[in-house]
A and B are shown apart, each in its own frame.
Chain A
Amino acid sequence: MFPTWINAVIEGLPLFGEGLRTTLSLFFQAGVIGFVLGCIVALGKSRYIPRVYPLAWFYVELFRNIPLLVILFFFYYALQFTGYVAGLLALIAWASAFTAEVVRAGIESLEEEQIKAARLLGLSRFQLISHLVMPQALMRILPVLANQFMNLAKNTSIVYFVGVLDVTYAFEQNSAKYFLFFQFFFIALGIYITLCLIIIYAFRLLEYFTKTRRAIKPVIPSDDQALPEPA
């Protein structure tokens, strides 16, 4: 009833389903772990935990300056992990190194006066970090963080090189099996674009909910303030 290529595409879809499951699993695991690790490394590079600066610096420079594929090969060939684990570790290392620098930018952007106010109120360093520094830093870097997560979603495709069945691998296998490159290319393209759009709009939503909290407007005297008349 359908042209032959449509039947072939329908037959190839389950492989995409399996691939998508791996892609999503890599994305969420590397995203969460990479983000948390990135925040910790960012704090290590900030003035709040100065003792671990050299270690944090080394971590960031190591994984930021090596191509992602080389990190993957290191975990796969040198350390002999399975394809999935090697891919996951490489993505975590890459994502955390870049996230650390983004988060650090947010941390450094916090006004010195707020830190002083917190110290005057007697907050401990841990309370300062957990209640003031990190929440505000994260709110300020949401747009850049969205980019970071989008890059991560796309970079999950490197596991193709170590034989893990993800969306890219499913596309390659299907197009080779059915000799239908463009049809399967557009399916893979649609999956990646949809994933990225979901990430963009999820972050937009987060930005919307945190917008009112992000910046103190400059102190400008105005005459529209409902204040009691002087005695």
Chain B
Amino acid sequence: MLKVKHLTKRYDTHVALDDFSAEFPLGCINVIIGPSGCGKTTLFSCISGLEPFEQGVIEYNGNVLIEGNRPVKQDTHVIGYVLQGFSLFAHLTVLDNLTLAPRLVHKLPRKDAEARAREMLEKMHILDKQHDYPNQLSGGQQQRVAIARAIMMNPRVLLLDEPTNALDPQLVYALEKTIKELVADGLTLIVSTHHMGFADRIADYSYFVHRGELLTASEKANLLHNPQYPEIQRFIQNEEERVSHLD
């Protein structure tokens, strides 16, 4: 179980996360749903150790990973995080993007790192792109490289921040397939999204975040089917309006 306990994060006077607590079961797909600006990305930044926070604890299987107000020192790479914009290293080929961190951080020999990277790319169906540079890839391909790069560090939990942004429906379906394959391989996924259809299709557990607080959680995406809270009803209405406007 990945536990987030009483997490509070402030940006100056703005409270991005307010005493946020949640428990994420391992080996399944956890989906965090909420409108833009509700604190999903901040939550991921805190869980991954990217941002320090004022108060709270992140625990993995009973071991404290990060504690608020202490210097972040996460050597174990338990948590992998794929940022919203993918953030590939523009001057490196796909293969080098994947092998850089294992070679430098885990001191893996280049040959071994490349062999593993090729395996990973084959799994992601982009082995033919191994010598391309990021600017030669499409959005969907960049995303796969970013996911593969995060998995190269052997994380137990992978955070995907708004992975459906800027993807067309065909690519969203392909992403769903990839996510399910990763979970089948034993990885735990925590995915943030405001794309309701996507959440509905992949979620084993879902969590609704509103103004930096966990409003409610449910199995599957049940919280969207029987919305008990006016905030969720409003969110669903806004999303439906947005989608119909796009159509």
A220 close to B139 (CB less than 8 A) = yes
Complex Cα–Cα for A214 and B48 (A): 28
**Most A-side CB within 10 Å, residue of B50, B75, B135:** B135
Chain B residues within an 8 Å CB radius of A213: 90-92, 133, 135
B75 — nearest CB in chain A belongs to which residue? A122
**How far does the Cβ of A207 sit from chain B's closest Cβ, in whole Å?**
13
A-B interface pairs (CB < 8 A), number: 114
Complex Cα–Cα for A116 and B150 (A): 13
- Per-residue CB proximity of B75-108 to A under 8 Å, as 1/0? 1010011010111111110000000110011000
**How far does the Cβ of B44 sit from chain A's closest Cβ, in whole Å?**
10
Interface residues of B toward A: which range?
Answer: 35 or more
User: B15 at the A/B interface (Cβ < 8 Å)?
Assistant: no
B106 — nearest CB in chain A belongs to which residue? A122
B100 close to A230 (CB less than 8 A) = no
**Most B-side CB within 10 Å, residue of A116, A118, A135:** A116
Interface of A is mostly: loop
B74 — nearest CB in chain A belongs to which residue? A122
Chain B residues within an 8 Å CB radius of A78: none
- Per-residue CB proximity of B19-37 to A under 8 Å, as 1/0? 0000000000000000000
Complex Cα–Cα for A118 and B141 (A): 19
A121 — nearest CB in chain B belongs to which residue? B101
B140 close to A225 (CB less than 8 A) = yes
A216 close to B135 (CB less than 8 A) = yes
B101 close to A123 (CB less than 8 A) = yes
A114 close to B89 (CB less than 8 A) = yes
User: B188 at the A/B interface (Cβ < 8 Å)?
Assistant: no
Complex Cα–Cα for A104 and B74 (A): 30
B174 — nearest CB in chain A belongs to which residue? A227
**Residue in A127, A222, A228 whose CB lies within 8 Å of B177:** A228
Complex Cα–Cα for A43 and B176 (A): 42
**Residue in A121, A139, A221 whose CB lies within 8 Å of B105:** A121
A225 close to B83 (CB less than 8 A) = no
Chain A residues within an 8 Å CB radius of B138: 221-222, 224-225
Complex Cα–Cα for A12 and B104 (A): 57
**Residue in B87, B91, B101 whose CB lies within 8 Å of A122:** B101
**Residue in A116, A122, A127 whose CB lies within 8 Å of B83:** A116
User: B61 at the A/B interface (Cβ < 8 Å)?
Assistant: no
Q: List 28 A-B contacts (CB under 8 A).
A: A117-B87, A117-B88, A118-B89, A120-B83, A121-B105, A122-B101, A122-B105, A123-B101, A123-B105, A132-B91, A136-B91, A212-B133, A213-B133, A214-B135, A216-B88, A219-B85, A219-B142, A219-B166, A221-B139, A221-B168, A221-B171, A222-B138, A222-B139, A225-B138, A225-B141, A225-B171, A227-B125, A230-B173
Going nearest first, the 5 A-B pairs with the smallest beta carbon separation are: A230-B173, A121-B101, A219-B139, A117-B87, A113-B87
Interface, chain A (partner B; CB < 8 A): 111, 113-114, 116-124, 127, 131-132, 135-136, 139, 210, 212-217, 219-225, 227-228, 230-231
